[in-house]
Structure 1
Amino acid sequence: MTLELSGIGKRFRLGGEEVVALEDVSLSVAPGELAVVVGPSGCGKSTLLNIVAGLERAGTGRAVLNGREITGPGADRGMVFQSYTLFPWLTVRKNVEFGLRMKGMPPAERLERARRYLDLVGLAEFENALPGQLSGGMKQRVAIARVLANRPEMLLMDEPFGALDAQTRLLLQDLLLKVWQKHKTTILFITHDIDEAILLADRIFIMSRRPGRILAELPVDIERPRDHTVTVSPRFTAIKKDIMEMLWKEIAQD
């Protein structure tokens, strides 16, 4: 799935004043690519992702997916939020099956697919548990399994590991890398964590402070498959230094 954003701008009203959230944002994501957007807090990263998801409309510019303009949500895109958005009254398996049931998939096929993706995220033995019985990291794994079970062509992830403790975050980063390596789903991932961005990405888009613009596009030329051992490599450190210098110039402005 190919994503093309051209001249995206977005304004909204806040307390009677007009706020420019995004200004002339252009980027592209190739099929099977894992692209990451980083930037200062409040720079419009989540707004940009919501436009790609079809949850918000751009004020100016065009958002095009596989040659068709994005006009609203679609089954070709699956979104994972920072909050887990699970139904607390449904079991883990029923949560994963929910979208499949809405599509009218037969029960036996739903069951087989839900179990397959719960196994993929390491939660097969918890299929009958309720979300309230799970840790935060486990809940997010269920959310990822639920999205993947619908087999979207593009995965949109809005700081999905931001609310987790450091150790759980590392585990889920490694899980995402393994899942992506296996399925090569196109991913657009939003984060404020520079280490996370470098570990995951094929390319990193660096945004300015508000109004959000694309300051730079950096390829991450670190060999795959990756795990956390790459975070101490000289190349990882060099890329991190470049990104930190760009972001520091942004946040240090008066």
Structure 2
Amino acid sequence: MSKLVLRKVGKVFGDLRHPVHALAEIDLEVAENELAVIVGPSGCGKSTLLNIVAGLDRASSGSVLMNGIEITGPGADRGMVFQSYTLFPWLTVQKNVEFGLRIKGTPPGERRETALRYIKLVGLAGFENALPKTLSGGMKQRVAIARVLANRPEILLMDEPFGALDAQTRVAMQDLLLSVWEKEKTTVLFITHDIDEAVLLADTVYVMSRRPGRIRTRLKVEIPRPRDHRVTVSPEFASIKKEIMEMLWEESQGLNISD
């Protein structure tokens, strides 16, 4: 059984007189421990789709199942990492990572032990007592990832988490995510507009059409793991990237600038 299954998912905003069809007939499956990535043109509904999986929004049609059970709202089995860091500025790194565990009633000793483990995992050992304002953008996103992982979600949902970072930091964060995923084997559904990022990270890349967003194609990325940025110069990488670029170019034709 797949960890996550979407069947004929559609989303319509607005009213009956002025409907905006954001998503249509989305079919998608993510297996246990898979790292799946969605790419598509701007405005195709990628973030809307992720919000539906997170339970932050409801589909207008179709079904979204996790472990065979329909998703009807937010849950601790799904952890969300946004492009913005969403840290509490008045809490230290350790207290930010402990936050969800404290809400769940985890005993203090266990909270501390878990937080320190994930702080170390994302490469921030020594910064436990730092406040977010003293951290760089990449470090803040590491804290956000550690906080989500500390809650041990069954699936990690990532909405362009590295989109606000400079190029060098983004490369470092991509390699960090690959390293963390290799260790934790958490199921991941990742949204990005960056084709290189998609191919580097993914077991499977889903390419969406322009609005209303549909799954245009599903590509398996057979590049061996473990991976890092050295694979981006390989012929296999270039071939997959070219195929995705051509599909997105076709989708961009006729796309209004307001989309």
Counterpart for residue 76 of structure 1: 77
Distance in 1 separating the partners of 2:154 and 2:66: 10
TM-score, with structure 1 as normaliser: 0.98
Opposite residue 26 of structure 1, the aligned amino acid is: D
1:98-135 alpha-carbon deviations (Å, 9 max, x no partner): 00000111111111110110000011111101001100
Counterpart for residue 118 of structure 2: 117
Mapping of residues 98-177 of structure 1, within 5 Å:
98-177=99-178
Identity %: 72
- The structure 1 segments of at least 4 consecutive aligned residues displaced by more than 2 Å after TM superposition are none
SS across alignment from 2:14 = strand
Distance in 1 separating the partners of 2:54 and 2:89: 24
Distance in 1 separating the partners of 2:150 and 2:194: 27
SS across alignment from 1:104 = coil
Cα shift at 1:30: 0.4
Cα shift at 1:253: 2.8
SS across alignment from 2:152 = coil
Distance in 2 separating the partners of 1:3 and 1:101: 28
1:82-111 alpha-carbon deviations (Å, 9 max, x no partner): 000000000110000000000111111111
Distance in 2 separating the partners of 1:210 and 1:63: 20
Cα shift at 1:17: 2.8
1:158-200 alpha-carbon deviations (Å, 9 max, x no partner): 0000000000000010000011011111000000000000000
Unaligned runs of 5+ in 2: none
Cα shift at 1:32: 0.4
Mapping of residues 220-239 of structure 1, within 5 Å:
220-239=221-240
Distance in 2 separating the partners of 1:235 and 1:105: 46
Counterpart for residue 47 of structure 2: 46
SS across alignment from 2:188 = strand
Counterpart for residue 191 of structure 1: 192
Counterpart for residue 243 of structure 2: 242
Opposite residue 142 of structure 1, the aligned amino acid is: V
Opposite residue 167 of structure 1, the aligned amino acid is: Q
1:211-230 alpha-carbon deviations (Å, 9 max, x no partner): 00000000001000000000
Opposite residue 133 of structure 1, the aligned amino acid is: T
Q: Does 1:93 align with 2:81?
A: no
Q: Tell me how large the CA RMSD over aligned residues is.
A: 1.0
Unaligned runs of 5+ in 1: none
